[in-house]
Structure 1
């Protein structure tokens, strides 16, 4: 169930207070909005925080950065939408102070314990801060919505179904005049958490998709495009095109209602949040690692199974103590009621639930 800010126990801080840190960095609330001597940030925060990764988070991250820097004029936050794979690699190498990723680190990756910026032997923090459906987007003149089941979606993206008027599509869309037009299926060329979530849904729901879930596209053929923007541009600028992207980027393109049980479900933030709330935590993780295992096969009413859960990833214990106040302040702002509301407005995300918020706040508070 999607919870509003009034349906969860909020972190009752707002504005500058929401992103200030404890101790010597926290000024008296009566002076919180007044200019500080010498042009310093009213919160006392200063320095540069370097992040990057998931391009799906880009719209929300730009909004979060703008709000955070407005309240903390001495602080700079950089977020480069390099893609999830590059973001994780940069975090491992210590090039990013934090990263965004459309999947959590896997057990074998965590076992290597080679996170350069983190104190060896300490866990990393992984917070599912960005919950959004992945939309299947298409461009067909005069058609704005189609119903498709998992097997048909898989056949289209594998290249087995090549025409829009194929009977497998037509049989699910009575009354829709489908053109005798070639299908151009667009996929990501870069390693992508969006691709991994999309292929995980297909792998879990139909034997037609005989490849494992992967962040790298597993089949030959189709058209490849770099990043979320590349896929959206390729679909938008083509005819008879179809692709997949974070739903916030669907714009005016046609979208697919996905078959769940006996119904076809349109994407929505509420439907995405519903499947996240029903999914279990990943086993064997530290308390600050909030990775979950999505149940893609749920047939519950109103659940949308092609959902992207994108994570904020940070050290729980940094080699460089100087970066800690900025990391805690920025991550704390993102998960707050205020930050999540900014994400809703900028990118249409589903706000995190009360239970997840409490765990996320504890994880952020533990960073040192």
Structure 2
């Protein structure tokens, strides 16, 4: 991963020290002999519904180890989560899209006046193109055709473009029912970012939390999954961890059609640089959507924990720091993998998140 912007020697030194201390902790006495946690209080978070399964598993693990702490997470969507955090209604946000320049230019009610918040990647997952089409179990799709389906330019399942990609399929002469997120969604922003980059001559809209075309909308990841599951001749997009038993399309990457896997999603993230012209401790990623490497799945989302550099309430800052340190650790990432089938952070990214958290107060 390219961390050119993350170049402050002091922060890198912290990362190295944290990696050493983590190794030592892993080799220490069994958990039963660990000192009891002294943390107490309540944390409130809100945001991405894509990561809700992981959040619930993280909360259970953290509260088991820290019995004096209560954590609440509302899967209200990335846009709603960022808004609530910015206004001081929550202690942290979960978001499938990093903060915009406009958001960063404003004030954060929970932070010390004059300080900012940062984006810390904690969750990597493919976005699945889910479908429920009469007589079709497998579906190949390329970016241009997917863009035309969701913009409304292709309206029937037996359209020549879809047939050409699926010569062995029996595609019905039926209307395509394409479902998008009706709420402000980081999953939508990642989906539209992929289409804007991989199908740039077809999809001319900018990446956005708000879906830019009319059509059938459903609230939250669960809403899209339910609509596709219970409808007829449906297609939608959702965090792969919540695709359930639905059929999922293979995306064309280079000359191949690629099924999503956590490993292929992680490969894209590993090869993506940080977003330019942001603070050194902001780890927003500029995801590579144009890859032609079939070992990579470019329709991927990275969910961020958004936290203050410095909290106005130091006690809340201590709780947030402890919780996010847990979810971004090797142990927390294993919990998320087991609960949601997502890809763990790379060791390099894990160390850089830890380095930033060491400066949070």
Q: 1:339 aligns with which of 326, 332, 336?
A: 332
CA contact (8 A) 2:92 2:307 kept: yes
- Residue matched to 2:146: 153
Q: Show CA shifts across 1:61-92 (max 9, x none).
A: 00000111111111101100010001000110
CA contact (8 A) 1:287 1:363 kept: no
- Residue matched to 2:64: 70
Counterpart check, 1:208 vs 2:202: yes
Report the CA distance between 1:34 and its aligned residue: 7.0
Counterpart check, 1:313 vs 2:306: yes
CA contact (8 A) 1:102 1:193 kept: yes
Gaps of 5+ in 2: 2-18
Q: 1:135 aligns with which of 106, 118, 128?
A: 128
Report the CA distance between 1:223 and its aligned residue: 0.8
CA contact (8 A) 2:134 2:172 kept: no
CA distance in 2, matches of 1:109, 1:30: 44
Q: 2:213 aligns with which of 191, 202, 219?
A: 219
CA 1:11 to 1:107, structure 2 compared with 1: closer, same or farther past 3 Å? Answer: farther
CA contact (8 A) 2:86 2:109 kept: yes
Residues 54-203 of structure 1: matches in 2 within 5 Å? Answer: 54-112=48-106, 114-203=107-196
Report the CA distance between 1:35 and its aligned residue: 11
Question: Runs (4+) of structure 1 moved beyond 4 Å?
Answer: 29-32
Q: 2:236 aligns with which of 228, 238, 243?
A: 243
Counterpart check, 1:12 vs 2:22: yes
- Residue matched to 2:293: 300
Moved more, 188-197 or 205-214: 205-214
CA contact (8 A) 2:43 2:91 kept: yes
Counterpart check, 1:356 vs 2:356: no
Report the CA distance between 1:106 and its aligned residue: 1.6
CA distance in 1, matches of 2:216, 2:166: 25
Report the CA distance between 1:164 and its aligned residue: 1.1
- Residue matched to 1:267: 260
CA distance in 2, matches of 1:72, 1:279: 35
CA 1:31 to 1:338, structure 2 compared with 1: closer, same or farther past 3 Å? Answer: closer
CA 1:266 to 1:334, structure 2 compared with 1: closer, same or farther past 3 Å? Answer: same
Q: Show CA shifts across 1:167-214 (max 9, x none).
A: 111111121111122110000111111001101111112222121111
Report the CA distance between 1:11 and its aligned residue: 6.5
CA contact (8 A) 1:124 1:288 kept: no
CA 1:307 to 1:35, structure 2 compared with 1: closer, same or farther past 3 Å? Answer: closer
CA distance in 2, matches of 1:232, 1:302: 27
Q: Secondary structure at the match of 2:124?
A: strand
Report the CA distance between 1:344 and its aligned residue: 0.5
Report the CA distance between 1:162 and its aligned residue: 1.4
Moved more, 243-252 or 299-308: 299-308
- Residue matched to 1:44: 38
CA distance in 2, matches of 1:82, 1:168: 36
Counterpart check, 1:287 vs 2:280: yes
TM-score normalised by structure 1 residue count:
0.88
Gaps of 5+ in 1: 2-8, 19-28, 37-41
Report the CA distance between 1:145 and its aligned residue: 2.2
CA contact (8 A) 1:32 1:43 kept: no
CA 1:268 to 1:30, structure 2 compared with 1: closer, same or farther past 3 Å? Answer: closer
CA distance in 1, matches of 2:186, 2:224: 14
Q: Secondary structure at the match of 2:51?
A: helix
Q: CA RMSD in A?
A: 2.0
